[in-house]
Structure 1
Amino acid sequence: MFGFRRLPREVRTALALEPGERVVSHARAAGDGHVVATTHALHLPGGLRLPWHLMDRAVWDEEGLTITMTDGAVHAVRLPEPGLLPETIRERVTATIVASHRVPLDPGGGVRLVARRVPGYDTPRWEFIFDPGLDPEDPGLRALAEQALEEMRRSLGV
């Protein structure tokens, strides 16, 4: 119906699903394998599991999907027919974000303060996403980011 194909049984059984996690959408990857979106994560061919709350961005083009994680890792997969995956990924990643605010730190750039919902936790997890070119390990920049986060939390009452 509407071009939807069932996920092959062998693909479903090979997924390492957490309790309560269910398949939402999927698409066949170029070559071999499937990309499977679940309620908790995106599963790539080869068994790689990318939780929604750790994704920074997903970009689609004629080649397929490129995902950048909050730690800077980049994953790409070719998808000839993405089906409902673009909409599912956008909805799932967006649903994890409680708050997001960019703060300039120095003339070289800034940091994005992001609070995300994490499955199994009652309170959001805060993270720093530094602009490219800034060293997230620099103690001075970390201190400025921590100060900005405290100001933001105070203003939000959390």
Structure 2
Amino acid sequence: MRLTRRPPAPVRDRLDLERGERTLATAPTRGGSFVVATTTALHVPTVSGGFARVPWERIDQASWKDGWLHVHETAGGPEHHVRLTEAGSVPETVRERVTATVVVSHNARLPGGGGVRIAGRRPSGGGDVRWSFVFESGLDPDDPGLRAQAEQLLEDLRRQTGL
């Protein structure tokens, strides 16, 4: 199969593209659909036959292993695991696009113990930096005390960086 940047017409018809959003890379999935990487988001197939649109700045981690694309959204959002039959340039495009949104990534120790990664990401179309916290395993991200400590560390980081 010859890989192209443009997905087939039936796939394009089901994508919810924003004005000016252009396709950068596509890859067929084992389920007969496609993963579509665009200038502003990754579109992954859903079980209902549609697509989940994940803006680049909302991807906390993405990895490519043994034919599988694994995508973890920020702030405890969903995970997407898609088997690609031919990856093409999708893994490289995902890495480049996610990395390009990172303005700052800082690991900090919490005063009460444990750690948190504070990430500032800017949408690929520009705009304000969006901040997220990723707490060490075993820490409850919904604990108001931990959140307050992380928010204080974020304020210190914003002062230091001017963001």
Tell me, yes or no, whether TM beats 0.5: yes
Displacement of 1:4 after TM fit?
Answer: 3.4
CA distance in structure 2 between the aligned counterparts of 1:48 and 1:37, rounded to whole angstroms: 12
- Structure 1 regions of 5+ residues with no counterpart? none
1:11 match: 11
Displacement over 3 Å in runs of 4+: none
Sort the Cα spacing of 1:121 and 1:63 in 2 relative to 1 into closer, same or farther, 3 A.
closer
Cα displacement (A) at 1:119: 4.8
Equivalent position to 1:155, from 153, 160, 163: 160
CA distance in 2: counterparts of 1:47 and 1:122, whole angstroms: 25
Which range moved further: 136-145 or 84-93?
136-145
Q: Which structure has the higher relative contact order (CA within 8 Å, separation 6+)? A: 2
Measure the CA separation in 2 of the matches of 1:27 and 1:41: 15
**2:7, 2:52 → 1: CA distance?**
17
User: TM-score scaled to structure 1, two decimals?
Assistant: 0.90
Pair 1:55 & 2:59 matched:
yes
Q: Is structure 2 residue 26 aligned with structure 1 residue 22? A: no
Contact kept, 8 Å, 2:67 with 2:87, in 1: the verdict is no
Matched letter for residue 20 of structure 2:
G
- d(CA) in 1 for partners of 2:35 and 2:127? 29
How many residues matched? 155
Which residue does the alignment assign to 1:87? 92
Structure-1 separation of matches of 2:73 and 2:138:
16
Please list the CA deviations of residues 51-77 of structure 1 after superposition, one character each: whole Å capped at 9, or x if unmatched.
111101111111411111113321100
Equivalent positions of 1:64-75 (< 5 A) are 64-72=68-76, 73-75=78-80
CA distance in 2, matches of 1:74, 1:132: 17
In the alignment, is residue 145 of structure 1 matched against residue 155 of structure 2? no
Q: Tell me the distance in 1 between the aligned counterparts of 2:31 and 2:64.
A: 18
Q: Which amino acid aligns with 2:119?
A: V
Cα RMSD (Å) = 1.6
The two structures have a TM-score, normalised by structure 2, of 0.88
Which runs of 5 or more residues in structure 2 are unaligned?
none
